[in-house]
Structure 1
Amino acid sequence: MLHQNLVLVVDDNPAMLRAVQRLLRQHAYEPILFSSAQAFKSHSDFEEAVCVILDINLSDGSGIDLRHRLKNAGVSVPVIYITGNDSPNVREAALASGCIAFLTKPFSIQQLIEPLNRVVGQSGAR
């Protein structure tokens, strides 16, 4: 079954995962949560996702590295980065890897939902 509003969320902070999950559900998105880079690496069905929300600094890896893995595997799903580390080097690396948004924690509801809605609007999924 195609989940037209499926969003994959990767963050090693359980409170952040729950908050993003609630927020996405309030806006008619269906999140699948991953608490580690390793858990995300074991996922293989990216075609149904409208977007991936990636924390950059994971305890077992880098969200930017995960993005590069997706690209190398031919997966073109849009990415939104979330991070508590807004250093110029991190921002530059994130933007260079290709993303539709780079959000610094804490971010507003609107900052997260607007790029998602743009992607869904462009694909006609919603």
Structure 2
Amino acid sequence: MLEGKLIHVVDDDSEFLKGIARLLKAHGLEVRTFASAEEFQMDAEPAEADCLVLDIHLGGISGIELLCRLSSAGIRVPVVLVTADDSEPTRGAAAAAGCSAYLEKPVSGKLLMDAINGAVASAGIQPS
């Protein structure tokens, strides 16, 4: 269903980035990875992505703050937020920011793919 879709992944954990990139590519997706929100803001074209996977707790700008900045700029892309440091305030902030899905690390490949599928489908993005 998602084959050929472009997914941007932002996470400061290089091993997580590599693993997610392999998983997504194995499902026929195009993937661009970024080690920080700042790198993403400098190098990405967020409106071109079909979905973003953002870590919440990054070294600088958080994934939630990045989502808010994109929304403020009028960029509407489905976002899956992931975190290894789950808490009620974080879940609340993620929901208020308008994420499509919120997942706790470690996240299974199936759960992540289901979240991306759901995010893309809810955004009305047509399958390739």
TM-score (norm 1): 0.91
RMSD of aligned Cα (Å): 1.6
* Alpha-carbon contact 2:101-2:119 (below 8 Å) kept: no
Q: Give the equivalent residue in structure 1 for 2:45.
A: 45
Unaligned runs of 5+ in 2: none
**Deviation by residue 1:12-61 (Cα, 9 ceiling, x = unmatched):** 01000001000101111111000011101113522221100000000122
**Secondary structure in 1 matching 2:47:** coil
**Secondary structure in 2 matching 1:85:** coil
Give the length in aligned residue pairs.
124
- CA shift, 1:123, in A, is 1.4
Q: Give the equivalent residue in structure 2 for 1:9.
A: 9
Alpha-carbon distance in 1 for matches of 2:120, 2:76: 14
TM-score (norm 2): 0.90
Unaligned runs of 5+ in 1: none
Letter in 1 for 2:24: L
Q: Which has the higher strand share?
A: 1
Q: Give the equivalent residue in structure 2 for 1:90.
A: 90
The equivalences for 1:14-33 within 5 A come to: 14-33=14-33
